[in-house]
Amino acid sequence: MPTNLPPEYFDIEKQYRAAQTTEEKIALLEELMSVVPQHKGTDKLRADLRKRLSKLRSASQTRRSFGKRESAFHIDRQGAGQVVVIGPTNVGKSALVAALTNAKPEVADYPYTTWRPIPGMMPVADVQIQLIDTPALQAEFAQPELMHLIRRADLILLVVDLQAYPIQQLEDAVAILEQYRIVARHLKDRHGEHKRLTFVPCLVLVNKNDDESTDEDCAVFRELFGDDWPLFPVSAATGRNLEHLKRAVFERLEIIRVYSKPPGEEADLSVPFVLKQGSTVEEFARKVHHDFLEQLKWARVWGSGVHEGQVVAREHVLQDGDIVELRI
Ligand SMILES: Nc1nc2c(ncn2[C@@H]2O[C@H](COP(=O)(O)OP(=O)(O)OP(=O)(O)O)[C@@H](O)[C@H]2O)c(=O)[nH]1
Ligand SMILES: [Mg+2]
């Protein structure tokens, strides 16, 4: 056993040994691999972890193909991005997911109502974004699979309750995430490189800001945390600020919508292709059809930063809303 393993390795290994399900073990092994430093002295250990992981993965695959139980925390990505809604109990996570998506998670005034993640689709502009309601974050009972889901998300919506103890709630939630080496991406600069951290974009939703009567509390909260966190006062109950939130989620995902125009035909504006910001004509071609990429001769673009129908190179960077005609 190499001697220079970080302390968190041993914490995770302990959880790994206690893990009950294959999915839990897979999540913890992936975590273990992410904290092992990469150098000669850990070659053997990393090879061993990889071997165990691939064994477990194929075991889980086999079970899946036989239609056996699959982890509730395994949620396939759908739409333009996967966004997790997390936070302490009773803050209104489920109420928000119910208000923003087609999902119908149970909403109740007693704690720990939600016990498994529930996905729903949120329409924004002309795309659909996947929001996942989750069980409450608890310091004394953190679920590795939940942490794994959070780590892989494109965006975290961390919900606190303005009418309860939002300050404590935010601080506690951030501490739990950090314990699992998950850090809000905008705070990256504050963390040294020595630890293996996962940086995920994060917005804080200050829920239950139902009407003007709580605006002052909200202002106090902003005074305290507004410099460090992007804050979004919202109300699942009255719908306050939810439209604004949808737009903000879209923007934080850093995606663009690109429309395809077949040669000699009108552009199809009903369904956009969704790409990462900074994507090129080449990446768009790959998304439209795998074969297009090799055969692509030139492309024309209608949109911002170009003349209407301008001929562009493969490396041309596309903008949100561009219409592209691919010529092969
Ligand atoms: N006034 C007010 N109440 C809300 C709002 N959102 C949720 N609630 C209430 O807060 C309680 C908890 O809501 P849930 O959506 O179940 O909370 P949760 O965060 O999903 O809770 P758990 O699943 O138990 O972790 C319910 O009684 C909701 O009706 C809101 O915007 N304003
Ligand atoms: Mg809930």
**Per residue in 78-132, pLDDT tens?**
999 999 999 999 999 999 999 999 999 999 998 899 989 999 999 998 999 999 9
Structure tokens at 119: 């996905």
Structure tokens at 243: 């439209």
Task: Point out the ligand 1 atom lying closest to the alpha carbon of residue 109.
Answer: 27
Q: How far is the CA of 206 from the centre of ligand 2 (A)?
A: 16
100 lines ligand 1 (CB under 6 A): no
- Residue 30 makes CB contacts below 8 A (sequence gap 6+) with 53, 148
**Location of structure tokens 């041309």:** 316
The better pLDDT of the pair 306, 240 is held by: 240
Residue 226 three-state SS: coil
Model pLDDT, residue 96: 98
115 lines ligand 1 (CB under 6 A): no
Beta strand extents in 125-184 (DSSP E only): 127-133, 155-161, 182-184
Mutate to test the pocket of ligand 1, among 84, 85, 89, 90 (most ligand atoms within 8 A of CB): 90
Closest residue CA from atom 25 of ligand 1: 89
Could you give phi then psi for residue 184, rounded to 5 degrees?
-60, 135
206 lines ligand 1 (CB under 6 A): no
Q: How far is C-alpha 202 from the chain's CA centre?
A: 9
Are the CB atoms for 276 and 315 separated by under 8 Å?
A: no
| CA distances (Å), origin 223, targets 85, 110, 217, 228, 262 | 24, 30, 10, 10, 52
pTM exceeds 0.85? no
The better pLDDT of the pair 24, 167 is held by: 167
**pLDDT above 70: residue 4:** yes
- Residue 182 makes CB contacts below 8 A (sequence gap 6+) with 147, 150, 151, 197, 198, 200
Number of Cβ within a 10 Å radius of residue 268? 13
Model pLDDT, residue 201: 97
240 lines ligand 1 (CB under 6 A): no
Q: How far is the CA of 270 from the centre of ligand 1 (A)?
A: 35
Number of Cβ within a 10 Å radius of residue 11? 14
Model pLDDT, residue 1: 60
Mutate to test the pocket of ligand 1, among 93, 107, 172 (most ligand atoms within 8 A of CB): 107
Range among 39-43, 157-161, 260-264, 290-294 with highest mean pLDDT value: 157-161
Model pLDDT, residue 7: 84
Model pLDDT, residue 3: 61
Residue 313 three-state SS: coil
